[in-house]
Structure 1
Amino acid sequence: MPIKKYLLAGLLVWTPLVITVAVLSWLVGSLDGAFIGVLTKLRLTSPDTIYWLEHVPGLGVILLILVLLISGALVSNVAGRWWMKQWDRLLNQIPIVKSIYSSVKKVSDTLFSDGGNAFRKALLIQYPRQGVWTIAFQTGTPSGEVASKLDGEHISVYVPTTPNPTSGFFLVVPRADVKELNMSVDEALTYVISMGAVSPGTQAIQEKRN
């Protein structure tokens, strides 16, 4: 029936847009709330000013971007890097804090550094058993004690869950059992989130058919 066809077409148009707007609204609201909460607890300004700032949408996002830009500029010179080393040294001397901070810093350095290889390559591996294939992302190679216990060349991979790729499994697999994919990481993530419904090239093929 035409009505059912039009309803489905309307859902295809509005569902991605509504979900995107909802996620962005939640993110902006969370950042704004965190910023206002800090000002309120630290009493850095008057209640009237806080009331006015609460009605400025996106202020937390703007301030976060400014803080990241300023801090990035400061640590990009010699003096900034020296102060950053002192800060790292201080935090690494505090019990409990040093274990959390050092672990998070190593992960962030690996993910965001220009020379890092984490999440730069999409792979195809057999998981959770032989004959069953899934998408994975290379996060590095084993080292230290883990590497000494393994025979042959292995790589570390992250297997995301569907449809939420922020949770998943960390695996160490033989390199010989891995198939590298030509698709980009973004394309692979789209493939995972869509549960295989949207594979690389699907949109282009559909456009040609239309």
Structure 2
Amino acid sequence: MLRFIGRNILTGLVTILPVLLTLYLIYWLARTIEVALGESIRALLPGMPYWPGLGLLAGLAVAFLVGMLMHAYLFQRLFALTENLLYHMPLVKTVYRAIRDFFDYFSPTVKKEFEQVVVVTLGDSGMEVIGFVTQESSGRLPEGFDTEGSILVYLPLSYMIGGYAVLIPRSSVRPLNMSVEEAMRFTLTAGVTGISQSGPISRPPLRHH
């Protein structure tokens, strides 16, 4: 009886926790924007009546305006100059560059290299692992790590945030017909989730140089 109760409690937790955590993350982000910009609005316009949610709307409006301004050449130049200053500040440049590279992956205006899912064969063992191509061009790799005929592949680790960026000969890599999201979910859960029943998504073929 206790085993039956425990199994159903565990099933319930596994079912509702991902939903609750996702909703909480969205709530936390919205709440943070609301509090930060809400205080700014009250300070700048003390006589203006304030309604809950005004800070969040202001945040969305600011993001929209910045997105529009980024299409203007002058604003692009000003932003580039600001970034250039950050890139020359000790410690700040390291943190900012890592954050910038992360968010650039989600930018609709930046070409993504992290888009090809591949299977990597490890030596003569026949062992295969799922990876993601991050650099196909040797010209974009550090000097001494730009072996001709090789590509840079990211190998994620299961059940944790992290992985290895390894230089792999093209002969040891073959494309896998999966989306990045599906492959990442499959890898991070060690294959426990399986793959979507809707079938694989067609991906562009791996380019050969």
- TM-score, normalised via structure 1 length: 0.66
Give the whole-Å Cα distance in 2 for the aligned partners of 1:160 and 1:87.
33
What is the Cα deviation at residue 89 of structure 1?
3.3
Q: Specify the alignment match of 2:192 in structure 1.
A: 197
Give the whole-Å Cα distance in 2 for the aligned partners of 1:106 and 1:77.
22
Q: Specify the alignment match of 2:156 in structure 1.
A: 160
Assess, with a 3 A threshold, how the Cα gap between structure 1 residues 123 and 90 changes in structure 2: closer, same or farther.
same
What is the Cα deviation at residue 131 of structure 1?
3.4
Give the whole-Å Cα distance in 2 for the aligned partners of 1:29 and 1:104.
20
Assess, with a 3 A threshold, how the Cα gap between structure 1 residues 27 and 150 changes in structure 2: closer, same or farther.
same
Unpaired segments ≥5 residues, structure 1: 206-210
Q: What pairs up with 1:1-210 in 2 under 5 angstroms? A: 11=11, 15-33=14-32, 36=35, 44=43, 53=52, 63-102=58-97, 104-105=99-100, 108-109=103-104, 112=107, 114=109, 116-126=111-121, 130-141=125-136, 142-143=138-139, 146=142, 148-164=144-160, 166-201=161-196, 203=197
Give the whole-Å Cα distance in 1 for the aligned partners of 2:164 and 2:56.
31
Stretches (4+) displaced over 6 A:
none
Q: What is the identity, as a one-letter code, of the residue corresponding to 1:76?
A: H
Give the whole-Å Cα distance in 1 for the aligned partners of 2:59 and 2:125.
46
Q: For each residue in 1:100-158, what CA deviation from the matched residue of structure 2 results, as whole angstroms up to 9, or x when unmatched?
A: 43454456446636563422111112469943322211111343674545543111122
What is the Cα deviation at residue 36 of structure 1?
2.4
- Paired residue secondary structure (2:62): helix
Q: What is the identity, as a one-letter code, of the residue corresponding to 2:27?
A: V
Q: What is the identity, as a one-letter code, of the residue corresponding to 2:28?
A: G
Verify the 8 A CA contact 1:31 1:60 in the aligned structure 2.
Answer: no
Q: What is the identity, as a one-letter code, of the residue corresponding to 2:21?
A: A
Q: What is the identity, as a one-letter code, of the residue corresponding to 1:90?
A: L
Q: Specify the alignment match of 1:208 in structure 2.
A: none
- Paired residue secondary structure (2:195): coil
Assess, with a 3 A threshold, how the Cα gap between structure 1 residues 61 and 174 changes in structure 2: closer, same or farther.
farther
Give the whole-Å Cα distance in 1 for the aligned partners of 2:25 and 2:106.
25
RMSD: 4.2
Deviates more, 1:184-193 or 1:137-146: 137-146
Paired residues in the alignment total 193
Unpaired segments ≥5 residues, structure 2: 200-209
The structure that is helix-richer by fraction is 1
